[in-house]
Structure 1
Amino acid sequence: MPVRDITDVERLRKINAALISRVERSMDQQGNAFTLFQTAINLENRVRSRTEELRSTLRRLEQSNIDLYSAKEAAEQANLSKTRFLAAASHDVLQPLNAAHLSVSALAEVQTSEEGRRLVGQVERSLATIGNLLQTLLDISRLDAGVVRPDVTEVALEPLFASLKSDFQPLAEQKGLSFRFRAGNAVVRSDRTMLRRILQNIVSNAMRYTRSGGVLVGARRRGATIRIEVVDTGCGIAEDQQEAVFEEFHRGAGAVESDAAGAGLGLGLSIVRRMADTLGHRIAVSSVVGRGTVFRLDVPAVSPRRLGLHSATSPARPRGYGLFGTKVLLIEDDDAVSAAMVALLAHWQCAVRAAASSGEAIRALGDTDWLPDVIIADQHLADGDLGTETVAAVRAYLGRPVPALIVTGDPSPMLAKTTRAAAIELMRKPVKPAELRALLAHLLA
């Protein structure tokens, strides 16, 4: 074959190889493009599927949120209904319980035998336990429902501590315990009633678990706060139980046997934690088993430069409790409570006139020769009358500010403000006769 032909053939082969290579590359590119196209379609399908799954999940989540909100609303409504029910039930139960307290106290006045006095004492302690449990259940319900609104004022600790000492000193003497208070001139910002209840429950707990030694309640300034400490030499609390003591129904194993019947259900410190949280007061506990326990409550302090502007002390409780000849206007619409109160006051040598409403009270005063020395009234009276308004009407009728006391089972904080503004004392049912007698003596002093 001529050289020229060989050269042409070689050239054609190269051209053919180049064309084939180009075609193959083109086909590869088309194949890759097709693969990418298929991949894109698959990805789009997967994205669409995931998007639909996400939308479905969001719809379910939205429905769950709606269901949770409805459940929360139902739970809150049930809680409020429970609070209203307990408040109403407590008032209905406190009325006969109050009558029982007063009747038993009147019965104690006429007992001459040791056995009779012992039995009366047993009944009184049982009634006190029932009353404390009812009040505690109501307090827990109201605190959990968030309906408690603290009335924060400036509270002097010295008279508050003196009141607690008066309550617990007989128990301390009975158990042979030392019982000391150190308040100084400390004044704090808190709700007076709630702060007293907190300290009362802590001191009661300390007394219950202390067999020997004693209990000390003290206050000292720490910067902008006053730290109130309740120190006892009782059985102590194990470290792993020190937070559990604030839980409902938690009761320690070291209660003194004589206190076992009055130890309740272990709700006292649960109330303490709830009230402290409501007031924004920090509470803590430290303890050593076998050596004792310290409860610490931090309360905002009133600036020392303002202490002179306030009358921090309250009048001392009179030592005498003689009520002989005291004229009492009793305004109570419950027949059983009224009869029991009249009987009790009669044993205290008081002269009593009873009424069930505002109108009856005014008619009872028609005889101008009989002017009451003190008024005792329930808050919720017959014909829809209110005790506070009735006291105001009686005072206006007589033209003088007769000392007055509202005795009620109504736990409303607003009532406490109303009575305080009207210079009326307030006592919650069930009434403890000894406290009633002391308060009447204080009002008449």
Structure 2
Amino acid sequence: MDESTRSQSSSPTTSENEAEYRQARSRILNVIIAVCYLYFSGIGEKLSNPAVTTLVIYVASFFAFTLAVFLHTRLRPGYYAVRRLLAMMGDFGSLTYVMLLGQTLALPLYVFIVWVTLGNGMRFGSRYLIIASAMAQLSLLALYILGDFWRQQPYLMATFSMLALVLPAYAMTLLRQTAEARDSALVAMQAKSRFLAHASHDLRQPIHSIGYYLSLLRTTRGKPDREQLIDRIERALGSVSRLFKSLLDIAQLDSGTVAVNSEVVSLQALLSDLVQQNEQSAQWNEVELRFVQTSAWVLVDPTLLTTMTQNLLSNAIKYARGSKVLIGVRRQGKSLAIEVHDAGIGIDEQHMPHIFDEFYRAHVEEDHDAEGVGLGLSIVNKLAQLSGLTLTIKSRRGAGTVAGIYDIPISAKQPEPKPQLAGDSPRPMAGYRVILIEDNIDVLHATCALLQQWGCEVQSHSTIPDRFGRCDLIIADYDLGNQELGTDAIRAIRAKLGSTIPAILMTGYAEAVVSKQTIDEGIQVLAKPVPPAMLRSTVSTLRIALRNQTPR
């Protein structure tokens, strides 16, 4: 509702009440200050007795008016346009009258003209700032027309006039910026409210199904049925894992701790790994996933490019249920583009301007309640900007979507071949000695069992251990409780064994943990939830690196 048309009976808001009250209270204080100044300046000695009497009566009347406005704000709080305008007219009228009488002695009272102008504008908004600015100019014009003294000071009056214009104009800019910041904050709050609603739903659904699947698993005897239930539990856990990974990614990007570490990368290897990782998801969504082979090598950060492409690919699979998805590389001059084409449901034109907003989902009934909280494209967009790449989305409802990462620089050189990781044998890390530290007992037992299944010899501890044997690797949770940190545990074990043993730090914190100091200490940081394949790959890489340094 517009301010000028609000009803006086409308319910007042707290901010309006406070603004009215503070302005009325400040007016009383300023009148007292002005009266004290006039008294001690000796203005009575320079005016005739009739003029002094008139001034006293006027000041007393205005003070009574000021008190009346103050009491009205207490008894009738809220927005009253007439009250505001009358108070402003009283302020400027009184200042004009006193400055006409006081002349030179009244020069300092110009400060109150500025105060009345800015005070009303900053408290009541840009409309009242404009009105107050116009009243200030009228007040100065009246001084110039009615006062001989002021007419003899044209440069001073010009200065006063310009100040009464420049300061409100600057205040107007600040008000506009404040309003834009407020609106942005409001949009962010609304987005996060939507996120909480979506996240609650997207977390409850898979957890709800996991509970039922586990109940069925306890009573199911046949191996095919058990494998089917395990497959469904794995799928539900994947949904929860993807949600948490999105939250961790967006929090880390917002914290500004993500660094770009470019290296020469084979797009064939990177994309084929992604296709392999998404084959199961494609089967679940009845999607035919195709990949166009490539021999290109590029100079990028492989982790960031993998995250970007993974988000685009998972989006395509999710919204192309029962159709086709194609991923491939397109050459564009001295750069390359990774494009993901899908024949899915597409995106309505009205949603396109918002698809990169955090927590925004272009969701309609035909989307089959597709999971996600609207973070994937926002993450890709931020990572693309950070990496100096370009993200483009073209889509039409019912005709599918083309999502592409462009301006990927081509590399003329190929890196030295990396050592092959451990094979797929049942126990690929037999004899590998690991110290595992985790304060959560369930996580401790699960991680220990997984490492032992791979052949590791595990020393498990729920706190920083006092006694332990020789080891090849330390795996520690970051927050061990009781103000103990995994980094402290790693340093203590290294110090006692007298060697910089390779270490992995697993953490549920999205910010601050990945510090330069941690990286300098040679500690690999993995953000929870850590998929078994990622943990296995990291452990295998560290094991091979240790073998290359010290043949056993």
Same fold (TM over 0.5): yes
Matched, 1:319 2:418: no
- 1:246 alignment partner, SS class: coil
Question: 1:250 & 1:382 partners in 2: Cα distance?
Answer: 37
Provide, for residues 337-360 of structure 1, a one-character-per-residue CA deviation record: whole Å limited to 9, x for no partner.
3244335445666542123555x2
Matched, 1:182 2:288: no
Question: 1:178 & 1:317 partners in 2: Cα distance?
Answer: 28
The offset of 1:67, in angstroms, is 6.5
Q: 1:363 maps to what in 2?
A: 467
Q: 1:251 maps to what in 2?
A: 362
Question: 2:449 & 2:252 partners in 1: Cα distance?
Answer: 34
One-letter identity of the residue aligned with 1:188: L
Matched, 1:152 2:257: no
The change in CA–CA distance for 1:396 and 1:162 in structure 2 (over 3 A counts) is farther
Q: 2:474 maps to what in 1?
A: 375
Q: 1:271 maps to what in 2?
A: 379
Provide, for residues 266-293 of structure 1, a one-character-per-residue CA deviation record: whole Å limited to 9, x for no partner.
2211222222223332111223554432
Matched, 1:132 2:237: no
TM-score norm. by structure 1 comes to 0.64
**RMSD value over aligned CA atoms?**
4.7
The answer (yes or no) to whether the contact 1:169–1:179 under 8 Å persists in 2 is: no
Question: 1:177 & 1:163 partners in 2: Cα distance?
Answer: 17
Deviates more, 1:433-442 or 1:116-125: 116-125
Provide, for residues 323-373 of structure 1, a one-character-per-residue CA deviation record: whole Å limited to 9, x for no partner.
566543102234443244335445666542123555x2x6212xxxxx435
Question: 1:299 & 1:416 partners in 2: Cα distance?
Answer: 30
Matched, 1:407 2:407: no
The offset of 1:149, in angstroms, is 4.0
- Residue of 382, 388, 392 corresponding to 1:284: 392
The change in CA–CA distance for 1:350 and 1:112 in structure 2 (over 3 A counts) is farther
The change in CA–CA distance for 1:45 and 1:236 in structure 2 (over 3 A counts) is same
Unaligned runs of 5+ in 2: 1-144, 190-206, 545-552
Question: 1:314 & 1:232 partners in 2: Cα distance?
Answer: 35
The change in CA–CA distance for 1:422 and 1:312 in structure 2 (over 3 A counts) is farther
- Residue of 316, 325, 329 corresponding to 1:219: 329
- 1:219 alignment partner, SS class: strand
The change in CA–CA distance for 1:153 and 1:437 in structure 2 (over 3 A counts) is closer
- Residue of 511, 527, 540 corresponding to 1:428: 527
The answer (yes or no) to whether the contact 1:282–1:298 under 8 Å persists in 2 is: yes
Question: 2:468 & 2:388 partners in 1: Cα distance?
Answer: 48
The answer (yes or no) to whether the contact 1:375–1:402 under 8 Å persists in 2 is: yes
- Residue of 295, 299, 316 corresponding to 2:403: 295
Unaligned runs of 5+ in 1: 1-37, 83-99, 366-370
Question: 1:374 & 1:256 partners in 2: Cα distance?
Answer: 46
- Residue of 435, 445, 458 corresponding to 1:352: 458
The offset of 1:301, in angstroms, is 1.2
Question: 2:348 & 2:270 partners in 1: Cα distance?
Answer: 31
- 1:226 alignment partner, SS class: strand
- 2:514 alignment partner, SS class: helix
- 1:229 alignment partner, SS class: strand
The change in CA–CA distance for 1:54 and 1:122 in structure 2 (over 3 A counts) is farther
Q: 1:328 maps to what in 2?
A: 434
One-letter identity of the residue aligned with 2:282: A
The answer (yes or no) to whether the contact 2:451–2:458 under 8 Å persists in 1 is: yes
Q: 2:69 maps to what in 1?
A: none
Q: 1:193 maps to what in 2?
A: 303
Deviates more, 1:330-339 or 1:114-123: 114-123
Higher relative contact order (CA 8 A, sep 6+): 1
The offset of 1:378, in angstroms, is 2.0
Deviates more, 1:150-159 or 1:348-357: 348-357
Question: 2:288 & 2:496 partners in 1: Cα distance?
Answer: 51
The change in CA–CA distance for 1:74 and 1:338 in structure 2 (over 3 A counts) is farther
The answer (yes or no) to whether the contact 2:251–2:510 under 8 Å persists in 1 is: no
Question: 2:405 & 2:534 partners in 1: Cα distance?
Answer: 27
Rg larger in structure? 1
Question: 1:357 & 1:73 partners in 2: Cα distance?
Answer: 46
Question: 1:112 & 1:434 partners in 2: Cα distance?
Answer: 29
Provide, for residues 51-107 of structure 1, a one-character-per-residue CA deviation record: whole Å limited to 9, x for no partner.
75553343334445566788999999x99xx9xxxxxxxxxxxxxxxxx9xx99xx8
- 1:364 alignment partner, SS class: coil
The change in CA–CA distance for 1:313 and 1:176 in structure 2 (over 3 A counts) is farther
One-letter identity of the residue aligned with 2:447: M
The change in CA–CA distance for 1:150 and 1:441 in structure 2 (over 3 A counts) is closer
- Residue of 425, 432, 448 corresponding to 1:342: 448
The change in CA–CA distance for 1:439 and 1:137 in structure 2 (over 3 A counts) is closer
The change in CA–CA distance for 1:143 and 1:415 in structure 2 (over 3 A counts) is closer
The offset of 1:379, in angstroms, is 3.1
Question: 2:178 & 2:398 partners in 1: Cα distance?
Answer: 50
- 1:198 alignment partner, SS class: helix
TM-score norm. by structure 2 comes to 0.53
One-letter identity of the residue aligned with 1:196: T
Question: 2:239 & 2:338 partners in 1: Cα distance?
Answer: 27
The answer (yes or no) to whether the contact 1:212–1:233 under 8 Å persists in 2 is: no
The answer (yes or no) to whether the contact 1:231–1:293 under 8 Å persists in 2 is: yes
The answer (yes or no) to whether the contact 1:150–1:279 under 8 Å persists in 2 is: no
